[in-house]
Amino acid sequence: MAQSSTDLMTKPTWGLKGKHILVAISAGVAAYKSCMLVRDLIRAGAEIKIVMTEAARAFVSAETFQALTGEAVYTDLWDDRVHHRMAHIELGRWADAILIAPASANLMARLAHGICNDLISTLCLARPRERCPLLIAPAMNREMWSHPATQRNAQALQDDGAILLGPDRGDQACGETGDGRMLEPAELFEALDHALSPKALLGRHCVVTAGPTFEAIDPVRGITNRSSGKMGFAIAQAASQAGASVELVAGPVSLATPWQVRRYDVVSATEMLAAVDLAINRIPLHEIERSIFISVAAVADWRPEVIAKQKIKKLAGDTPPNLRFTENPDILASVAARQPRPYCVGFAAESELLREHGEAKRKKKNIPLIAANIGHETFGQDLNQLLLLDERGEHPLPLASKQALARQLIEAIADRLS
């Protein structure tokens, strides 16, 4: 499930601030979602121009988008505002990215076959493809989407380099339910940010662990910690935006999966180790040393030796149960001991002596980089501060949002790998 637009607007973005984004609107009820998207993109610092088909104005007026952007909407192939009346050339040159949302079946068919009979189709064909990505968010009835002709057109557009966003599955304006809903504004926002972010990790594989583990005592009780998973999820998102192919192994948390990230949900430390091994074993052997493992999860050090089959009942006068514990596997040390091994980054959640304990952990695990923080001050919070420790010394990352810190960490990793 995607994050809300409001949540996204509290987060820094790599790719959107100062970027020129052309939002094209074709006919469809989903055009109302594009109003919210445009507002959010402007709040993120992007510069927006709007192009609409004539049919789109039957659903949302051009005046609505003019009020949102402060600029008249482009609708005419021969717009007098544009030099030499070449709107299809000048708008494409201006744009850093073009997003069509919603994209109707009709418009997708014309784009797939290079038919230029209005401003949107013409400027998409004329855009400088090497630097201006085309993102397409389909929206249509489920029968229209599933029709072989539409599927051929969608595949042709992807073969030509367009980025297809969705569609989603759900209730439709026609009263039916199925595939064909346009993605929500928050998802389109994240996809644009992803497309325009610097790709310092392009071509690399990255495995991230996040959240707590839960070690069962009986069917209803267990041992866990206060980790929310926010830092690990932010790092997975930042790595994906930086171009890496990311697999996220998540303990029991309730967070949305970041865009373009593959997720494994686990509960215990032994399950997490198995999922990490599976994810790393999926990486081709010759690419392992170019890959990255970031161990962010707060993994329980011990687990009960025996799990009671039924709930341990509290009876009057009873003494507390005598629990015996056994050590959990050390996931980070296990990955660091592989040959060949990924570039390993650890996290140290400490309560005191951050540099001393963090550096001791880095050396014990035999890893090149560790990020230390005060665990009880950051668990469940939106802000954090990190102390990066490597063989060159310490590198503090001051208090900031976990999303901002995640991007700084990914930049630091990319710098070391380069």
* Cα pseudo-dihedral 360, 363, 364, 365, rounded to 10: 120
In terms of C-beta density within 10 A (0-12 exposed, 13-18 middle, 19 or more buried), how is residue 83 classed? exposed
In terms of C-beta density within 10 A (0-12 exposed, 13-18 middle, 19 or more buried), how is residue 340 classed? exposed
CA distances from 273 to 103, 278, 280, 355 (A): 43, 9, 11, 27
Residue 170: CB atoms within 10 Å? 11
Contact between 101 and 187 (Cβ < 8 Å): no
Contact between 201 and 414 (Cβ < 8 Å): yes
How far apart (Å, rounded) are the C-alpha atoms in residues 417 and 67?
A: 46
Closest CA to 303 of 321, 323, 320, 319: 323
What would the two tokens of residue 2 be? 């995607």
How far apart (Å, rounded) are the C-alpha atoms in residues 387 and 227?
A: 18
How far apart (Å, rounded) are the C-alpha atoms in residues 109 and 336?
A: 50
All residues at 6 or more sequence positions from 241 whose CB lies less than 8 Å from its CB, including other chains: 14, 15, 193, 194, 197, 259, 407
The verdict on whether omega for the bond into residue 340 sits within 30 degrees of 0, i.e. cis, is yes
Contact between 123 and 74 (Cβ < 8 Å): no
Options 35, 124, 132, 174, the catalytic residue: 174
CA angle 32, 38, 44 (to 5 degrees): 145
Residue 309: CB atoms within 10 Å? 7
CA distances from 51 to 65, 73, 85, 100, 335 (A): 10, 6, 15, 9, 50
All residues at 6 or more sequence positions from 323 whose CB lies less than 8 Å from its CB, including other chains: 217, 304, 305
174 is catalytic: yes
Q: Phi/psi at 309 (nearest 5 deg)?
A: -70, -30
Catalytic positions? 174
